[in-house]
Amino acid sequence: MAQEFQMNIFGLNMAFAINLAVTVSLGKDNQWAWRIPIIVMQVYPLVLLSVIQRLPESPRWFIYHEREEDARRALEDIEGYEAGKKKFKCLKEMHEQEAGKEVNYWNMFTPLHSQFHPTIITIMGQVNQALTGYGAVSVYGPQIFELLGFGFRTAEYLTQGNFISYFVLMTGAWLLIDAVGRRQLMVSCSLILTICFLFLALFGGLTYNADKVHIPTIPVAVLGTLSLFVATGAFGIGWLATVWLIPTEIYPTTARAQGTAISVIIWGVANFTITLLTPIMFNNLNYYLFLAFAVTNAFAGIWTWFYLPESGNRSFNENQEFFEEAREAGSWQVRKVKDGKWLKMPYGKNKSAEEEPLLERVADQVQP
């Protein structure tokens, strides 16, 4: 998941670089400065269409629709003959066990239903990710650097540099996500983000009031740039992939598709809202915008610490146990559920999901 998002950031780099190159070479008033990027965009879907036949079908979907032979072929195509045959058997057993336990969207938003709690965690993960402000940073990067005191063209170059740093630092996500756990990574990076945005508010304020405070603007702008670079890396490592990974670990098979769909919808709505509000906040708050993002990042970190269970390096049954124990404890606070068992990721007990796929872990647990 983290590697996939790193490739997403690589695409962000390409998109911004193409826009920057044509704007610099042709001038921003030239109509081809915006026509060329739109034309180039059409190449990528054509490339995707040329290889789409090699993308594997979903074995789960086939099993759900009673197309067992198609599911078998899909698994053999992905895993090879022997491993595919073994996983097909596991998947079929899981499907038979869960038959008659359908979960619909109404269930997921019904407070007394067992899937309501994981649904709220999924929703708040996406809301909190939007509250980090990085949808706005990605879209309005040049304006933020201008707010720090740089000229228009320099701000664009610095935005490209920030995106390159973003791509490189994303390597830390897929190195750390299974080493320290999802929860600890998110909370730690929220703290870093909060501190960085407080620094940005300070440096932005000093730059904005440079004539009054009589200090050189360049050193302050450089410190602000470093703060933004660090904040971008912290977001990529702690918040970009984790909020998409957690729903795959906390939902049963019967609710996973619905949980993923809810996650996507909330992501769209939350990021649309923040991105829409950002230029309004720019115009009305100026450098206080950074202070607002410091507060929202603090909220995201605090909520995560209180309510997000650590799902890493745990079996599916152990993650489901958290929600059962939370109901019995009458609390969603992680520290109050079974003496804080889900505050940290266990080490040395289970293999990671990369080493031992979920299907095999569950199948092992249901064997007589």
The model's pLDDT over 61-102, given as tens digits with 9 standing for 90+, comes to 888 788 889 998 888 888 888 888 888 888 888 777 766 667
- Name which of 2-6, 77-81, 220-224, 327-331 the model is least confident about: 77-81
Q: Which residue has the higher pLDDT, 149 or 361?
A: 149
Tokens, residue 311: 């799902």
pTM listed for this prediction: 0.86
CA dist 235 and 164 (Å) reads 14
* Residue 357 predicted with pLDDT over 60: no
Each residue's pLDDT tens digit, 26-41:
988 899 999 999 999 9
User: For the chain, which residues make up each domain, given as ranges?
Assistant: 106-308
Q: Residue 349: which pLDDT band, with cuts at 50, 70 and 90?
A: low
Helices 242-250 and 116-131, axial angle in degrees (round to 10) = 180
pLDDT at 361: 44
Q: Residue 364: which pLDDT band, with cuts at 50, 70 and 90?
A: very low
The pLDDT of 210-232, averaged and rounded, is 89
pLDDT at 365: 43
Q: Which residue has the higher pLDDT, 208 or 328?
A: 328
Helix H, strand E, coil C: the string for 133-144 is CHHHHHHHHHHH
**Choices 3.20.20.70, 1.10.10.10, 3.30.565.10, 1.20.1250.20: CATH for 106-308:** 1.20.1250.20
Query: What mean pLDDT is reported for the chain?
Result: 88
Q: CA nearest 58: which of 268, 361, 359?
A: 359
CA dist 232 and 333 (Å) reads 29
The pLDDT of 125-140, averaged and rounded, is 90
Q: CA nearest 167: which of 16, 352, 353, 294?
A: 16
**How many other CB atoms are there within 10 angstroms of residue 305's CB atom?**
18
